[in-house]
């Protein structure tokens, strides 16, 4: 158990709908990263938040958005869902480094499996 929690574990929805995935980082970790794992694209970085602020964006679609709240949990919002959005969505967290920024080691949650029908 990494200490990172994600809910829900499974989500089935229809095209055009909107869903919210939730992530709680390990106690004390300030960074949250979101990744998407799909059969055709593999594991891809979506977005990184550090202490409430967006730090980096990867291959995240405009239909997707995220935020990190004051209690450090994060939500990934996926809207106007398409069949191709079906994937496993992972959240990861990392500790604060001695220099003040995020440490390089990331600890992954169990993922949310999204199926769009």
Partner 1 sequence: AQSVTQLGSHVSVSEGALVLLRCNYSSSVPPYLFWYVQYPNQGLQLLLKYTSAATLVKGINGFEAEFKKSETSFHLTKPSAHMSDAAEYFCAVISSGSARQLTFGSGTQLTVLP
Using CB under 8 A as the binding rule, whether residue 56 contacts partner 1 is answered as yes
- In angstroms, what is the minimal distance from the CB of 78 to partner 1? 19
Size of the site for partner 1 (CB under 8 A): 26
Among 21, 29, 30, 33, binds partner 1 (CB under 8 A): 33
Rounded CA separation 33/59 (Å): 13
CA angle 102–92–117, rounded 5-degree value: 145
Using CB under 8 A as the binding rule, whether residue 94 contacts partner 1 is answered as yes
Using CB under 8 A as the binding rule, whether residue 25 contacts partner 1 is answered as no
Q: Hey, CA dihedral for 106, 88, 38, 78, is it positive or negative?
A: negative
Instruction: Classify burial at 94, counting beta carbons within 10 Å of its beta carbon; exposed 0-12, middle 13-18, buried 19 or more.
Output: buried
The residue ranges that bind partner 1 (CB under 8 A) are: 2, 4, 31, 33, 35, 42-45, 48, 55-56, 58, 90, 92, 94, 101-102, 104-111
């Amino acid at each position: 158990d990494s200490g990172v929690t994600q809910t829900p574990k499974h989500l089935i929805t229809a095209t055009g709908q909107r869903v919210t995935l939730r992530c709680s980082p390990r106690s004390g970790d300030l960074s949250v990263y979101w990744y998407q794992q799909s059969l055709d694209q593999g594991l891809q970085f979506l977005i990184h938040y550090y202490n409430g602020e967006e730090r980096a964006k990867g291959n995240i679609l405009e239909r997707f958005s995220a935020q990190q709240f004051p209690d450090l949990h994060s939500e990934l919002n996926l809207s106007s869902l398409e069949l191709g959005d079906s994937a496993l969505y992972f959240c990861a967290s990392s500790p604060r480094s001695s220099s003040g920024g995020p440490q390089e080691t990331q600890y992954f949650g169990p993922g949310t499996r999204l199926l769009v029908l």
